[in-house]
Structure 1
C-alpha cells in the first residue's frame, strides 16, 4: 500500500520517462548542476537562433531518451542537430552528410571536434557525430562546427554556392 501512495515520489525523472512527453522546462529542471544547465540553455539559444530552425522534443530511445531536435526545411527529413539534455552529461549530436564533410574544413577545427568527427558512426551517407558539452569551452568548440554546417547546408554565401 505504501508503494502506491508514494508513486509520485518514485516517478522517473522527465528525461527518462518514455511514456510521458515532458515540456522543455521539465527537461531543463532535471539538470540540477548550474554549470551544465547554463551550457544547455546557451546551446538551445544558439540552435534555436539559427534562421529557420525549429526546436521540438521527441523520444529518441536509449541512450538519448528525450532530446531537443532541431530541424530546418532545407534538410528534411533528416534532423539538423540533436541536443541531449542528459542531467549529468549533456551532448550535441550532429548528423553530417559524409560526402560533404571535407568541405567543412575539418583540419581547421580544434582537436575536440576533429576527434568527434573521427569517431562518428557511418550509417549510409550520414556520419553520426556527437560531443559532450559540459562546459562553455566545449560548447564553443562544437559551435564552430554548427556554424560552418549551417553556412554550408542552409545559408551558403555567394562564394559557396
Structure 2
C-alpha cells in the first residue's frame, strides 16, 4: 500500500496562531523538542465536523505542558477555535486532529527555559481501521503484559513525545 508522506500533503496547518500551507509548516533540526523530548501532544478525532471532547483534550494538553515545565501560549478557548478552524479549512468532517507543542531552537541544552514554545495543529483523513462487517461483530480486547513506569521516574502523566 502506497501512502503519501506527511511532508508532501496538501492542506493547511495551524502554526503559532496562523494557518500555513501544509508543506511550509517546518521546524529546525536543532529544535529542543526533537533532541530532548520537550514536546506534548493530543490525539483527537472529529466526527461530522465536531471534535470529540475537544475541551477536555485542550485542558489536558495544557496540563501536560505544565508537567514538563512549559506554558502553552494559547488559552483553551483559542485552542478550541484553532482546532475548529483547521478542520473546516481542510474540508474534513471525519478526521484525526493532532495539536502539539514543543520547545524551539533558541537554546540547545538540557534545561532550555528560554526556548520559545511553539504550537501547531494538523488534521488529516484517517478512516476507521475496521470495515463495517468487523465493527458489527465487535472487537476483542486483551490486557497488555507490560506496566506503566513508576510515576517518580518521569512526568509519565504527560502525553510527551
TM-score by length of 2: 0.26
Higher RCO, Cα 8 Å, sep 6+ = 2
TM-score by length of 1: 0.26
